[in-house]
Amino acid sequence: MSVPSHAFGPTEIDLRDLTIGDLLREAVREVPERVALIAGLPDPDDRRKWTYRELLLEAEAVARALTTRFEPGERVALWAPNLPEWMVLEFACAMAGVILVTVNPALQASEVEYVLNQSRSAGLIVATNHRGNPMRKIADEIAPNCNELREIIAMEDVLELGQAVDPEIELPEVGPNDAVMIQYTSGTTGFPKGALLRNRALVNNATHTADRMGVPEGGTWVCPMPLFHTGGCVLGVLSAVSKKCTFVLLEAFDPPLVLELIEEYKGSAMLAVPTMLISMLEHPEYPNRDVTSLEAVCSGGSTVPAPLVERIEKETGAAFTIVFGQTECSPVASMTSPQDTTIDKTLTLGSPMPHTEVKIIDPETGDIVPCGEPGEYLTRGYHVMMEYFDMPEATAAAIDDEGWLHTGDLCMMDERGYTRIEGRLKDMIIRGGENIYPREIEDVLFEHDSIAEVAVIGLPDEKWGETVAAVLRPASGVTLQRQELFDYVRNSIAAHKTPRDWFVVDEFPLTGSGKIQKFKLQKMSAGGELTRLD
């Protein structure tokens, strides 16, 4: 008798009714003088530090300033790179009861204008510029087009606002189930939507992720992830605070600086997408740095090749884990464990997180499929978003009447409840009526020594409907050979799955969270922008 693809996470672990502000106050009660935050800048003289007590006082002061400008429930957008003030504002907005709208610092005028209008933001806190993007100038230019935007605050003025406000102002009552953040979806398939997330979901998801990673209590968390994404502000900031860690924040990902900070501050935990980890290991500085202080390394967002996992665990001694989910589930639904085998860490997404439920269904019928059969990954529990902000139709399409979030991911589950990703429903290639899952082909290509990264996409074809194409980033110093790669893949999988078209890139188009944007690769192919491997 077949076993249904339906699994439950452990329930013996606490599910706590806490706000983001409560989490910080709890840390202050236990370790008030421990260093909470270090600005991980290249020059050691520029590295500002805050203890947990100082961080709380700063956040509460800024929260009071925000209450003089905004009502609880109003949206305040934050458009800035990874500055210490970002972390202060994450806690301050939560304490003030305003909903933080996170904005990618790489966005341009029309994109920011869309976010501000769609979220109906009353305020915008903005940095002057970042990596040549004149953010404050853009903000001033688009402000007249943003109907509900009342106030623009300079990022560099934030702490001064807190210092100038009346310390007797009382902060509003904020509940664990209150909305606290709008995170815009990464956009691997196009148009972004704003996932409205609650305090309780973010605090518990961050805590459970740190627990399963094996993050040591009071360790040092080095964060290269962008704070505008849940990988940074939830699985970085909140996970670290849940373990009362010292949080070393990089303004932007810089491989040699990450390595230096791990060595300097005895970094014990970090989360990074595979492209970051690959860049660190490939960097000339890597052999000269001592990274053996690492105890817990977590990754996610895209495929993690087995050689990468094995190398990190062997050379650092750290336990490696994989997270899987999306912004809409706060953000982790399944995760591997440090005790899992390398096979499970590279070929599966692990098992459901505490107090969550996962099932795999036939996307056509909605029925649960038997273990070992592919279908759509659905999850249900405390972690599911409240809604797509102000998008009732999109919300109804994503969350069904029974509370299941339809992720759009194609997965298979085994009898242990471990799932394996096969791709996105929209990524699935249908060639001559045959369903082809890109992940299977990507796994094969990842094993080839000449390839650093790979994405398999479907391209339109008059005869077959779609054909398979491989887009490759070669390993450092390697020249790829098309026939060699074709023969290599063909020896492992069926002829109809073997890529017909081969392209090479220096870098992939990525979302802010490090996921490869396959729809952009398809557009680049259609426009003749990809270099063909002959």
Domain with 523, as residue range(s), is: 427-532
**CA atoms 52, 53, 58, 59: torsion sign:** positive
Going by pLDDT thresholds of 50, 70 and 90, the confidence category of residue 330 is: very high
Average pLDDT over residues 55-73: 98
Residue predicted with more confidence, 94 or 131: 94
Q: Is a pLDDT exceeding 80 seen at residue 304? A: no
Burial class (CB in 10 A: 0-12, 13-18, 19+), 489: buried
pLDDT tens-place string over residues 225-235: 999 999 999 99
Angle between helices 255-265 and 274-282 (to 10 degrees): 80
pLDDT at 512: 67
pLDDT tens-place string over residues 8-47: 999 999 999 999 999 999 999 999 999 999 999 999 999 9
Instruction: Say if residues 89 and 236 touch (Cβ distance below 8 Å).
Output: no
pLDDT at 186: 55
Q: Is residue 83 part of a domain?
A: no
Q: Is residue 458 part of a domain?
A: yes
Least confident piece of the model among 28-42, 63-77, 277-291: 277-291
Q: Is a pLDDT exceeding 80 seen at residue 290? A: yes
DSSP per position, 298-332: EEESS---HHHHHHHHHHH--EEEEEEE-GGGSSE
* Phi, psi dihedrals of residue 177, rounded to the nearest 5°: -95, 5
Q: Is residue 87 part of a domain?
A: no
Instruction: Say if residues 152 and 54 touch (Cβ distance below 8 Å).
Output: no
Q: Is residue 436 part of a domain?
A: yes
pLDDT at 514: 73
pLDDT tens-place string over residues 362-404: 988 999 999 999 999 999 999 999 999 999 999 999 999 999 9
pLDDT tens-place string over residues 448-470: 989 999 999 989 877 777 889 99
pLDDT tens-place string over residues 521-533: 988 998 999 999 9
Going by pLDDT thresholds of 50, 70 and 90, the confidence category of residue 189 is: very low
pLDDT at 111: 86
**Percent above pLDDT 90 for the chain:** 76
pLDDT at 496: 81
Q: Is residue 481 part of a domain?
A: yes
Q: Is a pLDDT exceeding 80 seen at residue 430? A: no
Q: Is residue 497 part of a domain?
A: yes
pLDDT at 386: 98
Q: Is residue 237 part of a domain?
A: no
Q: Is residue 381 part of a domain?
A: no
How many helices (H) and strands (E) the chain has is answered by: 17, 27
Residue position matching structure tokens 């050691």: 44
Least confident piece of the model among 124-128, 487-491, 511-515: 511-515
- Give the residue from 319, 263, 249 showing the smallest Cα distance to 291: 263
Q: CA of 95: how far to CAs of 49, 143, 235, in Å?
A: 22, 26, 19
DSSP per position, 197-208: EEHHHHHHHHHH
The total of structural domains in the chain comes to 1
Going by pLDDT thresholds of 50, 70 and 90, the confidence category of residue 306 is: confident
pLDDT at 497: 85
- Give the residue from 518, 423, 195 showing the smallest Cα distance to 331: 195
Instruction: Say if residues 360 and 369 touch (Cβ distance below 8 Å).
Output: yes
pLDDT at 143: 98
Q: Is a pLDDT exceeding 80 seen at residue 171? A: yes
Going by pLDDT thresholds of 50, 70 and 90, the confidence category of residue 303 is: low
pLDDT at 188: 44
Going by pLDDT thresholds of 50, 70 and 90, the confidence category of residue 98 is: very high
- The CATH number of residue 468's host domain is 3.30.300.30
